[in-house]
A and B are shown apart, each in its own frame.
Chain A
Amino acid sequence: MELIGNLVLQGVQMLVVLALAPGLTGLIVKVKARLMRRRGPSILQPYRDLARLMRKDVVLADNASWLFRAAPYMIFSATWVAAALVPTFAIGLQFSWTADLIALVALLGSARFFLALASLDVGTSFGGLGASREMMIGAIAEPAMLLAVFTVALIAGSTQLSNVVAFMSSGEMGIRVSMGMALIALIIVAIAENARIPVDNPATHLELTMVHEAMVLEYSGRHLAMIELAAALKLLLYVALIGCLAAPWGIAPADAGPAGFVTGFLFFLAKLAAGGTLLAIFETSVAKMRVFRIPDFLGVGLMLGLLGTLLLFVSRSL
């Protein structure tokens, strides 16, 4: 009986991240529009877009291979599994020990790997352009993220997210320099990995510095829907991850009962709203960078991650 309850809880977590992901994207678009004194589309617009894409035909390029057709599902499932591992409203779920933070980074790496391969499949210049730049960004963002993960893991003494969050919300944590560095590194990585300004511009379509949009240019219909959903899930994952590390409040332990879970869920919604709003404000206040300035930007993240780790090696209490 307990097992079934735990499984249900795990299933709820997976559905929650899936259901909320497009909403977060919609919220960011909305807030950005309001900041520019436009009315903007409804928060529900991404859901409508997904439904519309599902109804449309898929137009496949003549020489697209099976990899091109399978990749959207692989990308989606890797991202979904990764997103389901991040504590949202509760920790210590049934399968939270399946993969730790390092595996989570690697799962996102798998999604990027297959997206880059898919964009090379048709053999267009835009696809190659996007893939090569994405892999360059990933080559710096991934170690930066891993170093931030090392910092967090050394502070909490664990790479299991549930245990990390439990430690963060306990009293022992206090304020630490290294944690601050890791969080800034994570934010930098999150901005780069989710193709946000200043690294990439999600609103443009035909611009030479585009990365993500160039990769998915040949996709249409349901395939595009899966990729868009995966991108939304990834954004939610990063916001949830930074949320549960920076503000580990309100997350229910596994045995909290329904009231605890509802409170946890409300806290989670608040964190998502806050994270989305902050991201929108940040995006409206900075300008897009040249592609070859991106390594400098990510290099800051890499160095902060390394400094955070080194500080912890010098003294466990920093």
Chain B
Amino acid sequence: MIAFAVCSVLCLLGLSLAAIGMRDIRAASAIVYGASGVLCAGLVVVGLRVLATQADAESMRVPVGLPWLGAHLQIDALAAVFLVLLGTGGAAASLYAIGYGRHEHAPLRVLPFYPGFLGAMTLVVLAADAFTFLLSWEVMSLLSWAMVLTHHREEETRSAAYLYLVMASLGTMMLLLAFGLMAGAAGGYEFAAMREAERSPGVAALVLGLMMVGAGSKAGLVPLHVWLPVAHPAAPSHVSALMSGVMTKVAVYGFVRVAFDLLDPVVWWMSVPVIVAGAGTAVMGILFANVDADAKRILAYSTIENIGVIFAALGLALAFRANGMDVLAALALTAGLIHAMNHMLFKSLLFMVAGAVLTATGRQDLDALGGLIHRMPKTALLALVGVTAIAALPPLNGFVSEWLLFQAVLQSPNLTQPGLQFLVPAAGGLLALAAALAAACFVRFFGVIFLGRPRTNMARDAAETDRWSLAAMAGLALLCVLAGVVPGLLIDLIAPAIDLVLGARMPAQADNAWFTLVPVAEVQSSYSGFLVMVFVAISGGAAAAAVYRFSSRRTRRAPAWDCGFPDADPITQYGAGSFAQPIRRVMAPMIAARETVIMPPPGDMGPARHSVVTEDLAWTRLYLPLSALVGLAATRLNALQFLTIRRYLALVFASLILLLTGLTIWN
């Protein structure tokens, strides 16, 4: 199995190199995306086989990299879960790109990087030593950075890419330090050695904190999220889908691998920052999604929300594990991993929808769209599945993971520490708030783009997207429905991974009647997405049949009523800004929203002006002062560039002395 996976990775990397040399761009696009799709599907098969057969970990040592270390690769159940996730997302994005990539102006700015990006992400998941992990992580960051720069002529894209590069370097540096601490003075860079190593709780906490910054900056934890809503939307849509749907999950994988597998001991208070960051991220992310007016940026902010939900689940799992409640930890970790899987499905789907709308109309700002359900009926239907899933509505998959997480929250009175006992219910309330705000956000997303009347000519003249894109979106929508209706299969599938890192798993779900989920015991809670779907379908069908039988059945078309005062101008509809107004006002302090109304002086016939500013407090209060500080330091240190050779030598000598003194004191 591992040989096959490594071969796939090599093929993906090779494909990257081959793409540089291809002359016929149309054929190159089809070949690169087609081959990437097939290879990703292969990765899914590998992952599924490892999980289904509950095979033991398979490892391999490739003699490349550091001479004394080599590259260690391994597939265990945890890696397999993420291989399935990555492969599914990659295959869908590739299939979509066969159609979507044709609209790209400069395909060679994407093609050489795309398969390599997929390969690097796979390698992160397969890595079993710190060096391979960090190297593949860095390659993943750089290749995705290159694809963010695809539309490099736009000023915004360039600044987004620069910000991404800075944040990615920060993240990798933190990961480097975390792995360095775990390896210890002896330098055991293999994961196997790190698992065995002994360390004090203080060091473990430091490692966890560094991992939160390192993996969290890639995943988009607040306040490390600032790059995400500008960089993810800047890339072409299939790459946005991969970055939001898959790359953030690779970051989650890194965190899970370290926090649950490699790191020991984890004490209860270490879970507190994870839960706080998770719940806070969830609410802040979705609040910004609720007030933004750009389709792809809304999706990126919603990614931040979902990452928050996942991290809250992981934090809860850490808290349970530190208290020795392994079965409950398994419940929380399962909720987190299932949510990661679900988020990959519906977020990829929605980014593809945004891409389809972008190619059809050339616009991605909500206020230029509208009424697309008439022009793009198939895309609209698939988008409807996506928004229903992401808004956590039954019977689709988003609700399942949300429900499991709430069940885990309800088990938390078992935790003994008062700190956690206050924190967890508050976090539960925040997660509930985030879920409700997500519903509001995606009513707005779908409603303004697809419903109502077209707001511009571009929206009025849009045409349905191509078949490849539709096929990819339909596949993901189908998976969303399946994962919602028969979630027990998915839970049983990832159970070996949970077992691997926690030594416990949730009760097997396969034997429950009607695909019911029973997370702890039937007297406590149960939910059957399948039956809910059947009941809703039957009662809706019965109602429709009865109405059809007994009602007048006649339907007339007429102009809209609108209380007698319809206005022909589509600008009078509710748009992105007006729909956001109630929530923006209620939540104004959190997003620093300010409204200003400028009235013309009396007697002046000029229009009044209304403007709204929202502000990301993390950006204005943290990053801007920090960057000003860095700028100041750079200006001051500029003098160091113009020293004489004697002074440079003196500086080198002084730092050497300083380091040696430090080392002596340390020992």
Q: What residues make up the interface of A, taking CB atoms closer than 8 Å to B? A: 14, 54-63, 65-67, 73-74, 76-78, 80-81, 84, 95, 97-100, 102-103, 106-107, 109-110, 112-113, 116-117, 120-129, 131-133, 135-136, 138-143, 146-147, 150, 153-154, 157-160, 163, 206, 217-218, 221-222, 225-226, 291-292, 295, 302, 305-306, 309-310, 312-314, 316
Contact = CB atoms under 8 A, between A and B. Distances in A.
Interface in B513-560: 514, 516, 522-528, 531-532, 535-537, 539-540, 543-544, 547, 550-552, 554-560
B527 A99 contact: yes
14 contacts: A54-B550, A62-B559, A76-B543, A78-B536, A98-B514, A110-B394, A123-B371, A132-B574, A150-B410, A154-B410, A159-B524, A305-B429, A306-B426, A306-B429
Interface in B556-599: 556-563, 566-567, 570, 572-575, 578-583, 585-586
Interface string B497-527: 0000000000000000010100000111111
A103 B517 CA distance: 12
B433 interface: yes
Given A55-B552, A139-B437, A150 B539 contact: no
B447 A116 contact: yes
Do most interface residues of chain B lie in helix, strand or loop, or is the interface mixed?
A: helix
Given A62-B560, A112-B439, A131-B447, A125 B572 contact: yes
Nearest to A162: B523
B436 interface: yes
6 nearest A-B residue pairs (beta carbon): A128-B574, A123-B452, A77-B540, A136-B582, A120-B447, A135-B440
B443 A120 contact: yes
A59 B562 CA distance: 13
Contacts of A153: 410, 525
Interface in B384-429: 384, 388, 391-394, 399, 402-403, 406-407, 409-410, 412-413, 421-422, 424-426, 428-429
A124 B566 contact: yes
A226 B547 contact: yes
Contacts of B557: 59-62
Contacts of B51: none
Contacts of A131: 443, 447, 574, 579
A232 B388 CA distance: 24
Given A141-B436, A225-B547, 17 more contacts: A61-B561, A62-B557, A62-B558, A63-B453, A66-B373, A73-B547, A81-B536, A98-B526, A103-B403, A109-B393, A117-B443, A120-B451, A125-B567, A132-B574, A132-B581, A147-B425, A150-B425
Contacts of A222: 547, 551-552
A126 B562 contact: yes
Contact of A142 (B377, B435, B580): B435
A23 to B, nearest CB: 19
Contact of A77 (B528, B539, B585): B539
Contact of A74 (B527, B528, B540, B585): B540
Contacts of B373: 65-67, 121
A147 B410 CA distance: 10
A160 B525 contact: yes
A311 B69 CA distance: 54
Contacts of A14: 539
Nearest to A96: B526
A132 B586 CA distance: 12
A206 B536 contact: no
Nearest to B531: A98
Contacts of B384: 67
Nearest to B374: A65
Given A226-B543, A305-B429, A57 B516 contact: no
A103 B484 CA distance: 13
Contact of B543 (A80, A100, A305): A80
A81 B547 contact: no
Contacts of B422: 310, 313
Contacts of A292: 582, 585-586
Contacts of A113: 388, 391, 393, 439, 443
A103 B527 contact: yes
Nearest to A119: B447
A225 B546 CA distance: 12
Given A123-B452, A158-B524, A95 B535 contact: yes
A121 B452 contact: yes
Contacts of A58: 552, 554-556
B446 interface: yes
Contact of A147 (B429, B531, B554, B580): B429
Contact of B374 (A63, A136, A158): A63
B233 interface: no
B560 A61 contact: yes
Contacts of B556: 57-60
Interface in B99-141: none
B370 interface: yes
Contacts of B392: 106, 109
Given A81-B532, A106-B392, A160-B523, A57 B424 contact: no
A160 B524 CA distance: 6
A111 to B, nearest CB: 9
A233 to B, nearest CB: 11
A57 B535 contact: no
Contacts of A102: 403, 406-407, 525, 527
Interface of B: 370-371, 373-374, 377, 384, 388, 391-394, 399, 402-403, 406-407, 409-410, 412-413, 421-422, 424-426, 428-429, 432-433, 435-437, 439-440, 443-444, 446-448, 451-453, 514, 516, 522-528, 531-532, 535-537, 539-540, 543-544, 547, 550-552, 554-563, 566-567, 570, 572-575, 578-583, 585-586
A110 B393 contact: yes
B421 A314 contact: yes
Contacts of B377: 66
B462 to A, nearest CB: 14
Nearest to B547: A222
Of A100, A106, A142, A163, the most chain B CB neighbours within 10 A belong to: A106
Contact of B399 (A106, A123, A295): A106
A154 B425 CA distance: 11
Of B371, B392, B394, B580, the most chain A CB neighbours within 10 A belong to: B394
B394 A57 contact: no
A158 B523 contact: yes
Contacts of A98: 514, 516, 526-528, 531-532, 535
A117 B560 contact: no
B259 to A, nearest CB: 24
B428 A150 contact: yes
A27 to B, nearest CB: 24
Contact of B453 (A54, A123, A146): A123
Contacts of B543: 73, 76-77, 80, 226
Nearest to B398: A106
Contacts of A55: 551-552
A291 B582 contact: yes
A291 B583 CA distance: 12
B560 A143 contact: no
Contact of B425 (A78, A135, A313): A313
Contact of A295 (B403, B573, B586): B586
Given A57-B555, A206-B563, A146 B574 contact: no
B452 A122 contact: yes
A14 B542 CA distance: 12
A26 B403 CA distance: 36
B14 to A, nearest CB: 46
Given A124-B573, A140-B586, A73 B540 contact: yes
Nearest to A206: B563
B409 A150 contact: yes
A61 B586 contact: no
Nearest to B453: A123
B560 A120 contact: no
Contacts of B528: 97-99
Contacts of A312: 413
